Structure 1
Amino acid sequence: MRTTHDEQELRMRVRQMRWEADRVVSLDLERIDGGDLPAWTPGAHVDLHLPGVITRQYSLTGAPADRRTWRIAVLHEESGRGGSRAVHTQVRAGDELTVVGPRNNFPLDPASDYLFVAGGIGITPLVPMLAAAEAAGASWRLVYGGRTRSAMAFASALAAAHPKRVDVVPQDERGLLDLPSLLGNLAPETQVYCCGPEPLLAAVEALCLADRLHVERFAARPRSETEPGAERAFEVVLQQSGDVVPVAPGQSVLEALEARGLDVPNSCREGICGTCETKVIDGIPDHRDSLLSDEERAANDTMMVCVGRALSDRLVLDL
């Protein structure tokens, strides 16, 4: 299962908002009651409940040691689903919001050497990882690509603080990241952490061994036409009640459960946040999420029901 800390639903206030780059604004959030926030570790994210009944996930990009402030940074995506637009056009300092978290699907594992690869707003979960690697005495470097220098949040501060470890690569000045050179001669102990747009993640995955690569997606991985899982009907058995729920072709398990009036925790509905992860008792899931590793998928012990279906005629779930 994903790594969680003291996940809570909190009423929080936006203490301040600040421009970090072109179309990127950061929000500093604090508890309305002034209390300490739940502990978190680098790679964690929170669910932000926004105006218009919108819930979106944003990486925590501040300092875990600061128990009074959670910082997120949001890119205004014109072609997005409305979450970033709500942050940029409706949310203001002093506003109160509901925040749920933290949850960590992208934890920083102990290592002696790290390569961090960021693309655009993918820098956000990596910022606290850099500080953690530095504090642990590990060797590390960051290669950070973006379209223009002015659009790359935190780039100037990171390069100034670590001039020998941080390589800022604006595309309009230096072209695309040279991933074959970057990944082609890694030391055996180097662990690679990458976050950014899908083309970057796909390219890194094609060049880097899975046992050393850790990625986080902000959108669902495109589904290949060659992946298994015909769109046929199957049944879901709820282990706790014994109820049997039919799932129609083209319908996710979550959609079928909701059609039955069942309330299952969920958030992203894209298989990227981990909120709906459910234990599998029996059957073979059709994993369509972007979270589980190849080993976890092969084990079939758990699934993300918001996008998942079945390869078997029946699934028995711990619900």
Structure 2
Amino acid sequence: MTLELLVDHKEKLADDVVGVTLRAPDGRALPAWEPGAHIDLVLPGGFVRQYSLCGRPGDRPAYRIAVLREPGGRGGSAYVHDDLVAGQRVQVDGPRNHFALVDAKRYLFLAGGIGITPILPMLDRAAETGRDWQLVYGGRTRSAMAFTAELRRHGDRVTIQEGLLDLPALLAEPRPDTAVYCCGPEPLLAAVEQHCAGWPADALHVERFSPLADTGEHTAFEVELAGSGRVLRVPADRSILEVAEEAGVTVLSSCREGTCGTCETGVLAGTPDHRDSVLTAAERRDGDVMMICVSRSCTPKLVLDL
């Protein structure tokens, strides 16, 4: 769903982090969302960036996001920091959710830096449902960590610290009744995945802001478009998305690096070679959907719901 929203408010939240509140120009309620959801912010110059919704899910009049300035980025965060102003209209796609909060008896939330954004509404939901939960939130310095004042209302369930999280202590003992949610920089995610290797399957849930390294072999294969019966050849150096677009097929897409989930496509036959950063281990095993911007095929042919 595409919306034209108004920048209602912009504020500094921490060093190199600004918060932006978006509303409908006519004041109407915005589409509902659940913890873990993100929106695509479409900016001048063709920038499309994904930002987690970090307000409260019941706050239908407004969406709230937080944006970290990325000096080595492609210009999207710099535009939000330097040029986006209150009163400006922007295009938003979504919300979409590939980091949904599963039902669990207990939750352990781990956040690094701007990775706190999708976690915030999860804390409210866990508190509302009376579940046992704990958040450990780390950053380079206190001044660089957003929402620390807001988190105080949760009392001693929240631990805020500078530097690296003590993952060996936090994750040493696998807990079958606990869901672990983690978002932050890639080194944190990789370390958490390593420490959770002995935990029950599907206990760990992560959201990445950057793509995983593609170390798999690239070979050619075919895709059949179920809607028309057309068969397209995907060469080793092209993606399914690129080939489909060249053939005139309209496919929603955004990041083109396997992190946003916009190009999710149904798989009707064949076995996908998943190379995205979105799907859970269970979803990968099921093989019912794939991200066609980066994922490929383990079989000579895939039949896609296109």
- TM value normalised by structure 1: 0.92
Per-residue CA deviations over 1:56-110 (Å, capped at 9, x if unaligned) read 1100000111110100000000111221112112211111001111111111122
Residue identity matched to 1:96? R
Distance 1:234 1:121, change over 3 A: same
In 2, Cα distance between equivalents of 1:80 and 1:19: 19
The aligned length equals 303
Is contact 1:31-1:37 (8 Å) kept?
yes
Contact 1:51 1:90 in 2 (8 A): no
Please tell me whether residue 167 in structure 1 is matched to residue 155 in structure 2.
no
Match of 1:197 among 169, 175, 185: 185
* Pairing of 1:31-70 with structure 2 (within 5 A): 31-70=24-63
- The alpha carbon displacement at 1:284 in A equals 2.0
Residue type of the partner of 2:154? H
- C-alpha displacement at 1:30, in angstroms? 0.1
* Alpha-carbon distance between aligned partners in 2 of 1:157 and 1:231, rounded to the nearest angstrom: 46
Q: Give 2:289's aligned residue.
A: 302
Contact 1:74 1:87 in 2 (8 A): yes
Q: CA deviation at 1:313?
A: 1.8
Mapping for residues 82-93 of structure 1, pairs under 5 Å: 82-93=75-86
Find the aligned partners of 1:303 and 1:73 in 2 and give their Cα distance: 28
1:94 aligns with 87
Counterpart amino acid of residue 45 in structure 2: G
Answer yes or no: is 1:106 the counterpart of 2:99.
yes
Q: Is residue 214 of structure 1 aligned with residue 205 of structure 2?
A: yes
After TM superposition, the structure 1 stretch with the greater mean CA deviation from structure 2, 306-315 or 121-130, is: 306-315
- Scaled by the length of structure 2, what TM-score is found? 0.95
Q: Which runs of 5+ in 2 are unaligned?
A: none
Q: 2:123 and 2:34 mapped to 1: Cα distance?
A: 12
Q: How does 1:1-319 map to 2 (within 5 A)?
A: 8-158=1-151, 160-171=152-163, 176-208=164-196, 209=199, 210-223=201-214, 225=215, 227=216, 230-319=217-306
1:148 is displaced (CA, Å) by 0.6
The alpha-carbon deviation at position 293 of structure 1 amounts to 2.2
1:178 Cα deviation after fit = 0.8
| Superposed displacement of residue 219, structure 1 | 1.2
- Contact map agreement 2:202 2:280 (CA 8 A) in 1: no
Aligned to 1:124, what secondary structure does the other structure show?
helix
Cα displacement (A) at 1:111: 2.1
Write the distance in 2 (CA, Å) between the matches of 1:28 and 1:247.
42
The one-character-per-residue Cα deviations of 1:205-238 (angstroms, maximum 9, x if unpaired) are 1111242111111111223x3x4xx322221111
Q: Deviations over 1:86-141 (max 9, x none)?
A: 21122111110011111111111222211110000000000111111111111111
Q: Please, which runs of 5 or more residues in structure 1 have no aligned partner?
A: 1-7
Distance 1:105 1:118 in 2: 17
For residue 3 of structure 1, what is the aligned residue in structure 2?
none
Deviations 1:19-73 (A, max 9, x none): 1100000000000121001111111111110111111110000011111010000
Per-residue deviation at 1:186? 5.0
Q: Which amino acid aligns with 1:273?
A: C
2-structure distance, mates of 1:293, 1:108: 12
> Separation in 2 of the partners of 1:82 and 1:11?
21
For residue 259 of structure 2, give the secondary structure of its aligned residue in structure 1: coil
